[in-house]
Amino acid sequence: MESIDESSCLNDELREDSDLSNAVECARTCKLGETKTCYYKFVIERYPINGQACSLCMPNATNTLCPNCQCAPGDGTQRIALTVNRMIPGPSIQVCEGDYIVVDVMNMLKSDSVTIHWHGLFQQGSPYYDGVPHLTQCPIIVQNTFRYQFYANNCGTHFWHAHTSTQKLDGLFGSFIVREPAQNEPYAKLYDYDLANHVIIVNDWLREESTSRLPGRRAGETGRNADTFLINGKGGFIDSDGETTNIPYDVITVDANKRYRFRFINSFCTVCSGQLTVEGHDLTVIAIDGQLIEPVTVDSIVSLAGERYDFVINTNKTPSAYWIQIRGLNSCASILQLAVLQYVGELSTPSTNEPTSTDPLPAGIVSQFLYFMQKSLNVAATNCDVPNADEICASDLKSALPIDPGILKKEPDVKLYLSIGMQSYKPDETFVPNQYQNYLVLSQNKTMITTLNNITSDSPSAPPLSQFDDVAEEEFCSVDNLPSNCTSSEPCTCIHLIKIPLDSIVEINVIDEFNAQSVRHAFHLHGFAFNVIALGQPLGPTSDENPRITLDYFKQLEENDLIEKDLISPPGKDTIPVPNNGYAVLRFRASNAGYWLFHCHQIFHQIAGMEVIFQVGEVRDIPSVPKNFPRCGNYKPAIQVKNKDSKRKINRKQE
């Protein structure tokens, strides 16, 4: 990797406190017993894409640690984005297990509040820094700074992103890598290098600010699909006239005949899935969402919002440059974005034709040379039950980590059923006088909300984690505890919360009743990783042309012992794509006291209510509120009307 000028990493806080380590010092080879206090400063602001700074420099892989080039190229089209330190992706946090992380987040957006979630970090003992607005903290208001501080105690490939509105879709995200000493790394012998600049982070991208798609339009651009993808913040774009932008593809360099560990992060926000392929190279996957699996070698990886994959590439091919592609699937099938894998000493332009959306690289190009059958890793594929299918599914993966014996017992301590749903309304049902319902535009004549168990979740006015007494008990609800104004047949809007006993084994059964073809909802659990006990996509109980699974039908399958469960070595994850018209069975031990969100990571679905809070343990079990922790909530003092005489006296004084 190119050398980095560490002065680009320094700021006033680092200069004043010699005990703090900067980003480059923390992105090191980890050693047993050595830890650091790693300090980062995030300045969030609105900033132009491909603006004036891009005439001065173009960012490369070295910019991920220190912001020494203030050009945010995107796909070259002009728009305003949200950036951290004028970078997209934002600064990469790369540390060692056990390091203490301090991040000062300064909100310079002028108009919006913000929080940052550390996706994949368990926050064991530090739930107040999980970064969920109005659940774990008050949002950071304009011109204010919030200091996040916690230990990086679970190693793996994680990332950070805004957890407020659609800000992640506008650019507020970046990688968060936690390494461990080679002596503790089970797969250290499978690769020679694990470099800071071998992180591939992809995001879906709109050519306008995301708020223009929320709640949506009834004419023009009515959908919320991505316009394009970016790889490490860059991407080419061909407009309707065939003109291309001048943004170069991201280039990742390698030496020949070495083995490299790559870390792939899917920072999508919409319903698209993407298929990653590296021309001429197979991918040996060793970890998913920071959880080690028994290695599997594939030609491509299909991923959804929030997932992460670690894989090893052997650079034993003819030295050259090779295309890296992320190809959209389903509703994003017309989108394809590229980067380049360049062998050192070779040209940075591949010798093969540049792939296009109509002529992409075959997903199994490696297999055409080496195997009889192409293989793609697609955790929640539609044909997982087909023998000799060309996709490797969750059921084909095995955990390489010791598994809590409680996870593997026949019955859990707590069993939850969560049905994914959608309710559509006509305008005269949505726009009722003096009512202001949360909604998304579904089509020209319909609006919708999203639900779990027929509940569209609302947000508290103050975080129950630190201000429990400020949130009325009757504001919370669950399917077994609906407010008086709700019925079991109509969707209910309230703060969806389920209480879970501390240290219990919890099974979550997620059933897709959403009734939308090809949509797979990617659900993320804060505070934990879970084991994937089962994924399936059975035929529904009807003989319709497009049969749908229901919660009742899932329970019938369960009662008849027709859910094939892996109670031997189920793989671990923290973000799971639920098969379309299917189900996911997940288990975890609830050993981390706090309020933890479980939600769809497709951002518009979450905003429309597809989330639930898990309260793990009682309030007394939760770590104490940090000293001087910010407070928030509604401000409604008593109405004080001045009498007429008082007003006359005031007027006379003014005269």
SS3 state of residue 64:
helix
Q: How far apart are CA 469 and CA 281, in angstroms?
A: 57
150 within domain boundaries? yes
Torsion over CA: 474, 477, 480, 486 (sign): positive
Predicted pLDDT at 542: 55
For 343-393, the three-class secondary structure string (H helix, E strand, C coil) is ECCCCCCCCCCCCCCCCCCCCCCCHHHHCCCCCEEECCCCCCCCCCCCEEC
Stated as kind and residue range, the H or E segment containing 555 is helix 551-559
* Alpha-carbon distances of 263 from 122, 286, 343, 478, rounded to whole Å: 19, 10, 18, 38
Query: Which long-range contacts does 233-241 make (Cβ < 8 Å, 24+ apart)?
Result: 233/59, 233/72, 233/73, 233/74, 233/87, 233/88, 233/89, 234/73, 234/74, 234/75, 234/339, 235/74, 235/75, 235/76, 235/205, 235/337, 235/338, 236/75, 236/76, 236/337, 236/338, 237/75, 237/76, 237/77
Same domain, 525 and 470: yes
- The torsion angles phi and psi of 371, rounded to 5 degrees, stand at -130, 165
Are 570 and 533 contacting, i.e. CB atoms less than 8 angstroms apart?
Answer: yes
Same domain, 350 and 424: no
Same domain, 437 and 327: no
Instruction: Report the CATH number at residue 541.
Output: 2.60.40.420
Q: Could you tell me the pTM of the whole model?
A: 0.95
Are 290 and 156 contacting, i.e. CB atoms less than 8 angstroms apart?
Answer: yes
643 within domain boundaries? no
Predicted pLDDT at 366: 36
> For strand 575-578 and strand 521-525, is the pairing parallel, antiparallel, or unpaired?
antiparallel
Same domain, 365 and 421: no
Same domain, 459 and 541: yes
Are 73 and 58 contacting, i.e. CB atoms less than 8 angstroms apart?
Answer: yes
Regions of the chain with pLDDT less than 70: 1-5, 61-63, 239-243, 363-374, 385-389, 539-547, 644-655
12 within domain boundaries? yes
Alpha helices in 163-218, H assignment, sequence order? none
Q: How far apart are CA 508 and CA 527, in angstroms?
A: 15
Stated as kind and residue range, the H or E segment containing 277 is strand 273-278
Same domain, 425 and 306: no
91 within domain boundaries? yes
Helices (H) and strands (E) in the chain — how many of each?
7, 36
β-partners of residue 452 are 420, 455
Same domain, 411 and 376: no
647 within domain boundaries? no
Q: How far apart are CA 261 and CA 188, in angstroms?
A: 9
Q: How far apart are CA 405 and CA 403, in angstroms?
A: 6
Predicted pLDDT at 636: 87
Are 582 and 509 contacting, i.e. CB atoms less than 8 angstroms apart?
Answer: no
> For strand 376-378 and strand 391-392, is the pairing parallel, antiparallel, or unpaired?
parallel
Closest residue by Cα to residue 583 from 556, 546, 607, 614? 556
Are 407 and 494 contacting, i.e. CB atoms less than 8 angstroms apart?
Answer: no
Same domain, 607 and 528: yes
Same domain, 445 and 308: no
Token reading at 361? 């690289």
Q: What angle do CA 379, 317, 340 make, to 5 degrees?
A: 65
> For strand 145-151 and strand 251-254, is the pairing parallel, antiparallel, or unpaired?
unpaired
83 within domain boundaries? yes
Predicted pLDDT at 446: 85
Q: Give me the domain span that covers residue 555.
A: 405-621
Closest residue by Cα to residue 426 from 445, 449, 450, 451? 445
How many independent structural domains does the chain possess? 2
Same domain, 363 and 409: no
Same domain, 411 and 352: no
Predicted pLDDT at 443: 76
Predicted pLDDT at 254: 98
- Largest interatomic CA distance in the chain: 95
632 within domain boundaries? no
For 77-115, the three-class secondary structure string (H helix, E strand, C coil) is CCCEEEEECCECCCCCEEEECCCEEEEEEEECCCCCCEC
652 within domain boundaries? no
Predicted pLDDT at 242: 67
> For strand 308-314 and strand 300-303, is the pairing parallel, antiparallel, or unpaired?
unpaired
Same domain, 126 and 173: yes
Are 159 and 267 contacting, i.e. CB atoms less than 8 angstroms apart?
Answer: yes
- The identity of residue 625, as a single letter, is V
Q: How far apart are CA 137 and CA 143, in angstroms?
A: 17
Torsion over CA: 458, 461, 467, 468 (sign): negative
Q: How far apart are CA 138 and CA 128, in angstroms?
A: 10
Predicted pLDDT at 544: 57
Q: How far apart are CA 89 and CA 98, in angstroms?
A: 25
